[in-house]
Amino acid sequence: MSVIGIPYIEREINNDVTRLIVSNEHGNAELSINHEIRIKGHDKVKVLLNALVLRYLGTNGARKITVLLLRRGNRVYRVNDLPRMRSLPVGLIGLVILLIMIISIVITILRIMNVILSMHIIILMLLSPLIIPIIYSYILQLKIRWGNLRNSEIIKITLEYGEFDEQRFNEALRFLSRIENIKSLTEIRRFIMTLVNNPGTKPQAYNEEVISISSILDKLGVKKYGIYLINMDQCNAASIGLPGINYVILTSRLVSCLNSDELTAVIMHEVGHIVHGDSAKALFLISLSQLVNIALITYIIPLMSLPAIPILIGALFMELFMILLTMRFSEYSADKYAMKFIPGKDLAMALIKVTWKELHQELASKRSRVLSSHPSVSGRLIRIASIK
């Protein structure tokens, strides 16, 4: 037998631990499995074994086809019929940081030209990082309102194929491409059962699950936040928590990847961001940064005859670092909040399934994440495991 094309030796110790030893001219690695998984070794083989294990954890070692439906009253809608989005449209912080940089550059140019800003313009510049995101959030909520999960149920039909069952998997995909014109739930079920019973497209496993997000959140005591589903081929979630507007966004790919317990963990993580006011905190820091920049450019730099460009660039980098650091700590806080309601293993598995590719790159490259708004995946997993 072999792993990633390399011969390996498998042996049992005390009937509890299974060890997988892999070795060739590129290096060696050892995988130990009991109540936890440990990988040790060096060089390319360890990296490949890491990738193999993380891929298995992230995909459950299977290829899956998921059909997502929304049931609202007596009507059923396909999630693919919702407006398709290419990327998660919640770049609030990025939008505002960009706005700060643009405004700071404009102020610098005006100051060099000896243009004196009126108090009204300065106040407008200070308030813009707060006003623009709130307007943006309301517009976004209107755009995604058709995916409201508070008055809907998700019907999730999953067809599971083996890793090497490529022919039947591809045939099933071709067969399912004809489902577009079918609107009735009864007809969709009949259509899928035809696929399940066909030897050429038959999956290893078939499952239908009804997920009521409202019922799940009501049981957890979360009743006042909106939950929206968007049609997007990216495994992700986001939240907006600003004065008068609080909601969570889930992507269709996320719902496809996770089971109901893991999905609940992700939702509670996002609710944690709202409860802690993380969006509002970030916007406050950004507005404070804007105030500092205006004070530097308009008063302090001219008064002390300091070089404007280097000081402004240095200030912007320090402000950006502080904002990103605050956002990283908010991820840990949101994880801790979620674990008040759900077991840590559900949150950890959700994190692995969503980020297993990123986690592999992280373990393989050991790159610094100084300018990232999120902490390392491995760091979050360690903290989740340490919370009792």
Q: What average pLDDT does the chain have?
A: 76
286 plus 382 within the same structural domain: yes
Structural domain includes residue 287 = yes
- Give yes or no: residues 50 and 128 share one domain: no
Q: What is the pLDDT of residue 42?
A: 54
* Residue among 288, 287, 368 nearest 328 (CA): 368
Residues 381 and 282 in one domain: yes
Strand locations in the chain (E): 2-3, 6-13, 17-24, 27-33, 37-42, 63-72, 75-78, 153-161, 205-211, 226-230, 237-242, 245-251
Q: State the pLDDT at residue 250.
A: 93
Cβ-based neighbour number of residue 47 at 10 Å:
19
CA distance 298 to 302: 7
Residue ranges making up the domain that contains 40: 8-56
pLDDT at residue 333, as a whole number: 93
122 and 33, same domain (yes or no): no
pLDDT score of 334: 94
The answer to whether residue 322 sits within a structural domain is yes
Position 49 in a domain: yes
pLDDT for the residue numbered 24: 55
3-state secondary structure of 276: coil
Residue 136 lies in a domain: yes
How far apart (Å, rounded) are the C-alpha atoms in residues 132 and 92?
A: 9
Measured CA distances, 253 to 156, 211, 248, 269, 356 (Å)? 12, 15, 15, 18, 14
Residues 52 and 97 in one domain: no
Which pLDDT score, from 0 to 100, does residue 23 have?
53
Q: Per-residue b/e over 14-40, b at no fewer than 16 CB within 10 Å?
A: eeeeebbbbeeeebbbbbeeeeeeebe
Which residues have CB under 8 Å from 7's CB, separation 6+?
1, 24
Residue 60 has a pLDDT of 59
Count of helices and strands (H, E) across the chain: 13, 12
Residues 282, 372 share a domain: yes
Per-block mean pLDDT, blocks of 10 residues, the chain (388 long): 45 50 53 48 54 53 81 83 69 62 68 67 72 83 88 89 80 82 81 90 90 87 86 88 88 89 93 90 81 77 73 79 86 93 90 78 63 77 81
291 and 365 part of one domain: yes
Q: Is residue 34 part of a domain?
A: yes
- Asked whether residue 31 is assigned to any structural domain, the reply reads yes
Domain count, the chain: 2
